[in-house]
Amino acid sequence: MIYLGLLFAALAAISWGTFFVPVRKVGITNVWQLQGATSIGVLLFAIPIGFFWGFGIEPSGIASGIIWTVGNLLALYAVRLIGLARTSPFLAGFSIITSFTWGILFFGEKFDSLILALVAIGFLLSGLPFVSNGARNPSIQKKGYIMAAAGGLIGGSYVIPMQVTHTLQSGFFSSSLSIFVIGIPLFFFARRFIKKEIVAGIISGTLFNIGSLSVLIAIGLIGITIAYPISQTATLFAVSWGILYFKEIVQKRGIIRVGIGVLLVLCGAALLAIA
């Protein structure tokens, strides 16, 4: 069961690490439209899963959908301001800290070595300054990092309502429906119906929900303090897309610094998983 949980956590990492790629490819010109299109992809994926996990409406799932929507809107703004390569480590770092705090203080999850767990958090925090270095426009960059951090703190809590009520599976459709119900008004509010952006948003929504399904299964098998940090190694994939494909950072020094920051974040996630 442990290995199966780790496998699903890894699948979540791959899916979430690729989640922003379609919308980054077409350009984030209107966050509201992309969020609305993303919500369509989320629901389309959730419908077939509902035949196995149910179509019941769970308040916990609705709450989770609201939390995720807020976090994702902040993340989209951050990607638009500072790029995918710099946003992702901040999202991952603060999401892991949030899930770690919930696991320890609320759910009473235990570590074999609390000292090692605290060292892991230290790695996570020490990696973030490397990622944030090299701003060309300090005011815009600062705003982007704040949004990325806030998106991570909020997004890291999105599974908590379902875990508290033990509705990780039965609440999956409710959370997806909640995201859809919030996203559709945003979609029409944007008044921009650009086909390529809509398609990109739907693909992103599908990728997100593949990761969401995977992480919910993993949490049920191995717990949030292990499953969620592993899933946040998605930052490795996201940063690779940002640097290698989108060329967001071209200077060698900048790439090295971001690379060091990512490695510190990943080392923190790995230590947390074995602590």
- Which pLDDT tens digit goes with each residue over 224-264? 778 877 887 788 888 889 888 888 887 888 888 888 888 88
Confidence at 135, pLDDT banded by 50, 70, 90: very low
Residue 202 or residue 189, greater confidence? 202
* Per-residue pLDDT at 45 exceeds 60: yes
Q: Which range among 3-12, 37-46, 244-253 shows the weakest confidence by mean pLDDT?
A: 244-253
Q: Where are the domains of the chain?
A: 2-274
Confidence at 100, pLDDT banded by 50, 70, 90: confident
pLDDT of residue 137: 56
Helix (H) or strand (E) holding 155, with range, is helix 138-155
Q: Region 112-118: what's the mean pLDDT?
A: 80
pLDDT of residue 138: 62
* Per-residue pLDDT at 176 exceeds 70: yes
Selection from 104, 106, 142 nearest residue 121 by Cα: 104
134: left (phi over 0), alpha (psi -120 to 50) or beta: left
pTM of the full structure: 0.84
In the chain, what is the straight-line distance between the N-terminal and C-terminal CA atoms, in Å?
Answer: 18
pLDDT of residue 133: 61
Q: What percent of the chain shows pLDDT beyond 90? A: 38
Tell me the H-state helices in 165-233. 172-190, 195-222, 224-231
